[in-house]
Amino acid sequence: MDVDNSGFTLWLTGLSGSGKSTISHLVAERLRCARRRVELLDGDVVRTNLSQGLGFTKEDRDTNVRRIGFVCELLSRNGVIAVVAAISPYRAAREEVKARIGTFIEVYVECPLDVLAERDVKGLYKQAMAGLLPHFTGVSDPYEPPEKPDLWIRSDQESVEHSVERVWTILKDRDLV
């Protein structure tokens, strides 16, 4: 069995705790099982290693998204599938990155704030809602959902397994897997 060498970017965006990382890890593993070259760029890991020192202003968040996008562009054009799980709150920055990358699949992972607060084991949403955490996306800072994502997942209404299958289906429908 030959290994496919065509790269693309699969970008999952949504609020903290919506399920982006969980879904992206499972999709990346499935791609590896299909003998594809994959790199997973998780927002938290990227911030620690590639974007250390950036704050949470709009400009810093956009810089973070552009850095992730640059890495995705390099990976994709070199035959690697870049799977991203990043809040990436501003639509314009996501659109800018999308315009630079050849094949870009945008997945919006949506979940209501009350469910996110229930899921949040660290209590960050409760702190943010109480005004104790400034610049918290979706509470005290804006999140601009994609207007026309390639796939829209409601993680409060479907299982992780179903979400992963829906991502896989769109990749198959576009002849990417």
Q: Which residues participate in catalysis according to the annotation?
A: 88
Q: Name the strand (E) or helix (H) holding 58.
A: helix 58-77
The first and second tokens of residue 78, run together, are 């070199």
Instruction: Tell which phi-psi region holds residue 173, choosing left (phi > 0), alpha (psi between -120 and 50) or beta.
Output: alpha
Provide CB contacts within 8 A for 161, sequence distance 6+.
Answer: none
Describe the chain by its helix, strand, coil percentages, rounded to 5. 45, 15, 40
Cα dihedral 128/147/87/102 (nearest 10): -170
Calpha distance 9→101 (Å, rounded): 8
Q: How far apart are CA 75 and CA 9, in angstroms?
A: 8
